[in-house]
Amino acid sequence: MWLVEMSQGDRMQASPGRQLQTMSTLPNIGLPSGAESRPMPEAAAKLSADNLNFFYGNFQALHAISMKVYDKRVTAFIGPSGCGKSTFLRTLNRMNETVRHSRVEGDILLDGENIFRLDVNDVRRRVGMVFQRSNPFPKSIYENVAYGLRINTSLGRSALRDAVEHSLRRAALWEEVKDKLHQSAYGLSGGQQQRLCIARALAVNPEVLLLDEPCSALDPIATAKIEDLIFQLKDSCTIVIVTHNMQQAARVADFTGFFLLGKLIEFDNTTVIFKTPARKETEDYVTGRFG
Amino acid sequence: MTWNKARRKIVNAVMLSLTGVCTLVAAGTLVFILGYLFVNGAKSLNWDFFTKLPVPVGESGGGMANAIVGSAKVLLLATVIGVPIGFMGGVYLAEFGGTIFSAVVRYVTDLLNGVPSIVMGIFAYTIIVAQQKHFSTMAGGVALGVMMIPIAIRSSEEFLRAVPLSLREGAMALGASKSKAIWTVVVPAAKAGLITGIMLNLARVAGETAPLIFTSFGNSFWSPGWDKATAALPVMIYTYAIGPYDSWHQQAWAAGFVLLTLVLAVNIIARMILAKRGHVAR
């Protein structure tokens, strides 16, 4: 992972003009001043990161990230490969702690409580995650969705069955799989597998759902289905999505954060980010001049 | 130019035929052994072999029922000892490895795997037979069980490692602790491989003779319980094959045939499970 980040750094270094520009427009390194300058009071903060640094060994992947994820809204992170957006996402449910020799500094508050002081398994249950490549377990469709409930609760058979159906319906997959619940999840198509993973994550009723480039391996039709799903889910769930696809961010997100070289350059309403970004780097990226 | 080309063609032909001949020799030897054993073994094999006890020298007939049961008991005990230890060790190395300690464990395991089987026999002899002052099924089981440990560790480790990281992450992202993720997702995903590993391991120690000679020793009669010396197929083959009587030689052939068939069957079934399921589920 950090090798990728390194090579990204090298690439940036190789372009002196951009480097200079970054220096001149960023006197206060790491502080997302763009985000601070505009008030965004529409919703309560579900998650808030405060001065978050993250290290893979000696390599610093995240620099002083401070931002808020608003409740029942969709927040997107965009930025070039290796900019730290996935790393930041994986810090929000403490998934990064599984990486050897990694270290985190700073706080992340979930409903005002510091997640680094909560039980890590509770944090991950409350902040669900769907990965870039769908990763259904080698079990039946039913058992995949039931898994989180089995390990976290002691629901009876019928309650479990209802919960599985409810989750599959929420993930818009029920109609497609209701007749083959007990077949292997590997028989599903790529898009269906990804929606199954979403259903699996929804089954434990997470307050926040983190989506790490959920559509990067999917065709446009499957992508459209996932995006529809995001619209439906945001009434009941706070969603954070990392995406390489700027159109996708523009379509689904209420707020967008632009990451570059481990720093949150700008965070604002999605319209602002794509129409009138405050920072030159953001504008260059969203207009396709670089990245 | 043309000389070069001709030379290349000749070298190619020579090397090709050399590799072909070597392959033939290797495969031919195997086929010869199997065929020879089959012909000789099948000739002296009959129903009595599986149901009757060995008869005293001079009488004809008899079988090796006690040795078959003895082998099964010794192998059962070996599995009970070797597999849980090996499996747990494999889980540790695969899931919590990466430390200096685990590197040491891995190295020691490989050393243990290279220890001659007769040394394992002496080990079991020293800690059990010498203490109890008599041979026993238990001592034989311990000797083979200890032999199974290193292979069980390494094969479990390998099959667990083959389970993709994404499955572990998927489970942990749902609030599963690491150990829960291992037991509920990783181990089930590696199940086919783990079972195959155990079967191949069993097939390998089933033919071990040296460790049994001075642990379970041998017995011409039934050996109830775990505390008496017992007959076992490989030792029986050894004893009967070096004996002076022709009827013994016939019995040894039959025993060899039975043992080989069992080992072969286990091997084939294990490999079929692997081929069908793939190395892991994904």
**Mapping DSSP to helix (H, G, I), strand (E, B) and coil, where does residue A234 land?**
coil
Q: What is the pLDDT of residue A289?
A: 77
* pLDDT at residue A6, as a whole number: 40
> What is the Cβ-side half-sphere exposure of residue B139, based on CA atoms within 13 angstroms?
30
Element (H, E) at A68: strand A59-70
Report yes or no: A66 and A32 within 8 Å, Cβ to Cβ: yes
Any idea what DSSP says for residue B186?
I
Residue A166 located in a structural domain? no
User: What is chain B's alpha carbon radius of gyration, rounded to the nearest angstrom?
Assistant: 24
Which residues, in sequence order, are bridge partners of residue A256?
Answer: A76, A268
| Res A34 pLDDT > 60 | no
Residue B213 has pLDDT above 80, yes or no: yes
Asked whether the beta carbons of residue B174 and residue A197 sit closer than 8 angstroms, the reply is no
Confidence band of B97 (pLDDT split at 50, 70, 90): confident
Q: Report if residue A175 sits inside a domain.
A: no
First to last CA, chain B: 52
The pLDDT of residue B221: 86
Mean pLDDT, residues A116-133 taken together: 94
| A189 within 8 A of A222, measured Cβ to Cβ | yes
Tell me which residue of A239, A206, A255 sits closest to A67, measured CA to CA: A255
The confidence score (pLDDT) of residue B277 equals 62
DSSP letter assigned to residue A212? E
Q: Which residues of B fall within a CB distance of 8 Å from A147?
A: 171, 174, 184-185
From the list A287, A285, A247, the residue with the least C-alpha distance to A22 is A285
Residue B1 confidence (pLDDT): 62
Residue A79 CA to residue A32 CA, distance in Å, equals: 14
Residue A93 domain-assigned? yes
State chain A's maximal CA–CA distance in angstroms. 64
The whole-number pLDDT of residue A99 equals 86
CB B211 within 8 A of CB B124: yes
Model confidence at A21, pLDDT cuts 50, 70, 90, reads very low
Overall domain count for chain A: 1
Mean pLDDT calculated for residue range A165-175 = 93
Task: Tell me the Ramachandran region of residue A101: left when phi exceeds 0, alpha when psi lies from -120 to 50, beta otherwise.
Answer: left
- Closest Cα to residue A239, out of A185, A170, A285? A170
- Output phi, psi for A184, to 5 deg: -60, 140
Q: Is A132 on the interface with B (CB under 8 A)?
A: no
> Are B173 and A93 within 8 A, CB to CB?
yes
Residue A119 located in a structural domain: yes
Neighbours of B169 (CB within 10 A): 17
The DSSP 8-state label assigned to residue A186 in this structure reads G
> What are the φ and ψ backbone dihedral angles of A289, each rounded to 5 degrees?
-75, -15
d(CA A228, CA A171): 10
- Integer Cα distance of B239 and B233 in angstroms: 10
For A95, the closest of B164, B173, B184 (CB atoms) is: B173
| Cβ atoms of A159 and A135 closer than 8 Å | no
pLDDT tens string A71-117:
999 999 999 988 999 999 999 999 998 888 899 999 999 999 999 99
Best mutation site among B168, B174, B279 for testing chain A: the one with the most A CBs within 10 Å?
Answer: B174
C-alpha span between B61 and A125 (Å, rounded): 70
For residue A46, the domain's CATH number is 3.40.50.300
Kind and range of the H or E run holding A107: strand A102-110
User: Does A133 contact chain B (CB < 8 Å)?
Assistant: yes
User: Smallest CA–CA separation between B255 and chain A, in Å?
Assistant: 42
A158 lies in a domain?
no
Q: Which residues of A touch B169 (CB under 8 A)?
A: 95, 98, 131, 135
Number of other CB atoms surrounding residue A271 within 10 Å: 13
Nearest CA to A92 among B251, B173, B261? B173
Name the band, by pLDDT with cuts 50, 70 and 90, for residue A28: very low
Chain-wide mean pLDDT for chain A?
85
Question: Does the beta carbon of A129 lie under 8 angstroms from any beta carbon of chain B?
Answer: yes
CA separation for the pair A232, A108 (Å, rounded)? 27
Of chain A, the percentage scoring pLDDT greater than 90 comes to: 70
Reading across the β-sheet that carries A102-110, which strands appear in turn? Answer: A59-70, A45-56, A102-110, A113-114
Radius of gyration of chain A (CA): 19
Residue B171 has pLDDT above 50, yes or no: yes
| Residue A98 DSSP code | G
Chain B residues with CB under 8 Å of A150 CB are 184
Average pLDDT over residues B40-44: 86
pLDDT by residue (tens digit) across A194-224? 999 999 999 999 999 999 999 988 889 889 9
DSSP β-bridge partners for residue A67: A49
Shortest Cα distance, chain A CAs vs residue B11, angstroms = 46
Residues paired with residue A267 on neighbouring β-strands, in sequence order? A257
Phi-psi region of A49 (alpha: psi -120 to 50; beta: other; left: phi over 0): beta
Give φ, ψ of A266 to 5 degrees: -150, 140
- Asked whether the beta carbons of residue B173 and residue A204 sit closer than 8 angstroms, the reply is no
DSSP letter, residue A189:
-
* pLDDT tens, position by position, B216-266: 888 888 888 888 889 999 999 999 999 898 888 988 999 999 999 999 898
What are the pLDDT digits (tens) for B12-41? 999 999 999 999 999 999 899 889 998 888
Chain B residues whose CB is inside 8 A of the A200 CB are 170, 174
Helix (DSSP H) and strand (DSSP E) numbers for chain B: 14, 0
Residue B257 near residue B37, CB atoms below 8 Å: yes
Residue A178 lies in a domain: no
Average pLDDT of chain B?
Answer: 90
* pLDDT surpasses 90 at B3: no
pLDDT in tens, A245-291: 889 999 999 999 999 999 999 999 999 999 999 999 999 998 887 65
Instruction: Kindly determine whether residue A201 and residue B172, on different chains, have CB atoms separated by under 8 Å.
Output: no
- pLDDT tens, B127-159? 999 999 999 999 999 999 999 999 999 999 999
Q: How far apart are CA A170 and CA B79, in angstroms?
A: 47
To the nearest 10 degrees (0 to 180), the angle between helices B233-242 and B246-277 is 150
What pLDDT does residue A291 have?
53
Length of chain A: 291
User: What per-residue confidence (pLDDT) applies to B58?
Assistant: 75
What domain range includes position A40? 2-138+186-286
Q: What residue in A sits closest to B190 (Cα-Cα)?
A: A138
Residue B60 is predicted with a pLDDT of 77
- B142 interface with A at CB cutoff 8 Å: no
Question: Of the ranges A10-24, B55-69, B70-84, which one carries the lowest mean pLDDT score?
Answer: A10-24
pLDDT classification of A40: cutoffs 50, 70, 90: low
The long-range contacts involving B219-222, CB below 8 angstroms and separated by at least 24 positions, are B219/B66, B219/B70, B220/B53, B220/B54, B220/B66, B221/B53, B221/B66, B222/B53, B222/B66, B222/B69
For residues A141 and A164, what is the distance between their CA atoms, to the nearest angstrom? 10
